[in-house]
Amino acid sequence: MAQIATKSRIYLDHAATTPVSAAARAAMLAALDLGGNPASVHAAGRAANATVERARDAIAAFAGCAPDAIVFTSGGTEALALALNGSGMARCAVSAVEHSAVLAARPDAVVIPVTSDGVIDLAGLADLLAAGPMLVAVQQANNETGVIQPIAEIMALVTANAGLLLVDAVQSAGKLPLPAADFIALSAHKLGGPAGVGALIMRNPATLTAVQRGGGQERGLRGGTPNISGIAGFAAAIAEPRDWTGVAALRDRIETTLVAAGGIVHGASAPRLPNITSIGLAGVANGTQVMALDLAGFMVSAGAACSSGKVAASHVLASMGLGAAAGEAIRISLSPQTQAAEIDSFIAAWTAMAKRLAPR
């Protein structure tokens, strides 16, 4: 697998970020050598602009949309904020398990409850929509548990009530087909591209108003000189084929073994992404588990990598009704480069940790 930090460590935090692929790195280096601003009309500017537009075409081909439906952003957070604040919808509803990028961008949003497995309550959503049109924001798949939402059913409800649907596909892109939605947010660094670049896909560009204004870039929908090398790396990464079949088998091996040793899988009864598992260890704080495993050479997380290094109880797991157990779970996330021997080593380390730390 690609190495992070030191050769002695095993990286199992791909949901936070995954290493930049060789193809993305090469595309970025080529773009860095261009030297022009895409807004300039001279030869260097035209070359830079051509790089951006080729990337837009590649991402449009991946998404199955027109190139002019894509707005490049600084990442998934900005893409989500652009739709949340630029859709023109006064009313907004978000699921209880959304990423903090959504929750913080619309603190006025109504929260849609979820089941004990983290699946959105469709009846609750229908009740909210009956009161009038609104923007609804739902992840295609959760970043902590991997639980997949019934987006087709949600889209049908939203459309029938004259609303708009924003889907956060940051974790699911490249693992699941992109769904039908009014807005879809993507982020390059979850796909083998660089951090600091993402995109918002719009079903109808006329439904969006700029939030960040500037020099008229991105057809006036997102001001600022584009991140040319990042965009080039994004397009190269998104075009690479990936096989997640073996990853799912490794995820299942982790869960079966750890449950037998006292672990608890959160969201196990729902459809999930192949590479993410949330494992609880009763009576042991998530921060303690993360540190113990890090000392043993394994890099995992306590949930979303969005709190400036802080470790706290997961709002996702709390929304699923787990109570104190929401602060006793870690996230293990894999990639197609994860090796079976690495998983065997991790299982041995987790089992030893559980025997040492779990209350008798």
SS (H, E, C) 42-66: CHHHHHHHHHHHHHHHHHHHHHCCC
- Which parts of the chain are beta strand (E)? 10-11, 70-73, 92-95, 110-112, 135-139, 164-168, 183-187, 198-202, 264-265, 276-280, 298-299, 329-333
Q: Is 92 a catalytic residue?
A: no
Distance CA 69, CA 81 (A): 17
Q: Which of 44, 61, 162, 306 is catalytic?
A: 306
**CB-side neighbour CA atoms (13 Å) of 52:** 24
SS (H, E, C) 222-247: CCCCCCHHHHHHHHHHHCCCCCCHHH
Catalytic residues: 306
